[in-house]
Amino acid sequence: MLYTIIPDEDIFKNKEEETEYQYDEFALKNCTLQVCKVGSAYRVDRIISTDPAAYLDKELQPGAMLNELRMNQLMNEK
């Protein structure tokens, strides 16, 4: 018997239903982005930076979608 506030569905969920995500890291605009490939685009999941301005850039905020062309452009920027 488990005494927990976590719902039974979360504890005993089917492993086949879980989706395994592949994350990649890219160095862009003086920060590192952890992204997940979604179709032909990338979804920003995490920003790793010591620069506070990186977190204010709307293009790099978590949840933002970047297509492959834009990712290439950002990687070539200095």
Tens digit of pLDDT at every position of the chain (78 positions): 778 888 888 888 776 655 677 888 988 878 899 999 888 899 999 999 999 988 998 888 999 999 888 888 877 775
SS3 letters across 47-66: EECCCHHHHHCHHHCCCCEE
Query: What pLDDT score was predicted for residue 3?
Result: 85
Query: What pLDDT score was predicted for residue 71?
Result: 80
Q: How many CA atoms lie within 13 A of 70 on its CB side?
A: 11
Is the pTM higher than 0.75? The answer reads no
Query: What pLDDT score was predicted for residue 16?
Result: 63
